[in-house]
Amino acid sequence: MFDISFTEIMVIAVVALIVVGPERLPKVARTLGHLLGRVRRYVGDVKHDIQREMEAEELNELHSSVQEVAHSIESLVREEVGELKAAADIKTETTSTSTLQSEVAGEEMPLMESSSSRTSNNHSTK
């Protein structure tokens, strides 16, 4: 955690022994240990909270990107369905038009055939 060597720790311990005294040194060391544990837990909790917030932000970004992709796919599908409907309408109109044309042509053909058959009949009777 801190870049402290063993000799530096020994110097700190000797100064603490002189300042605090041998009777109170174990109690002070125990209190410092508890405080150091609390600080470590606090730092760990802060790190965990920051990590959780970052993950939540990443999830929100992922969610928004998935929604964008879903909307683009939905729009593409709607365009394709619209094109297919338009093509089906054109085919239906073309089929209706060709059906009407064949019906009209079909009515004319018997008239033409009947007139040509009359002409044939007229030639053969003569």
Residue ranges covered by each domain of the chain: 6-125
pLDDT of 111 > 70? The answer is: no
**49-88 exposure pattern, b = at least 16 Cβ within 10 A, e = fewer:** eeeeeeeeeeeeeeeeeeeeeeeeeeeeeeeeeeeeeeee
The per-residue pLDDT for 126 is 47
Among 14-23, 37-46, 79-88, 111-120, the range with the most confident prediction by mean pLDDT is 37-46
Q: Are 12 and 20 in contact (CB under 8 A)?
A: no
Instruction: Copy the structure tokens of residue 32.
Output: 């410092």
Q: What is the pTM of this model?
A: 0.46
- In tens, the pLDDT along 69-99 reads 999 999 999 999 999 988 888 877 777 666 6
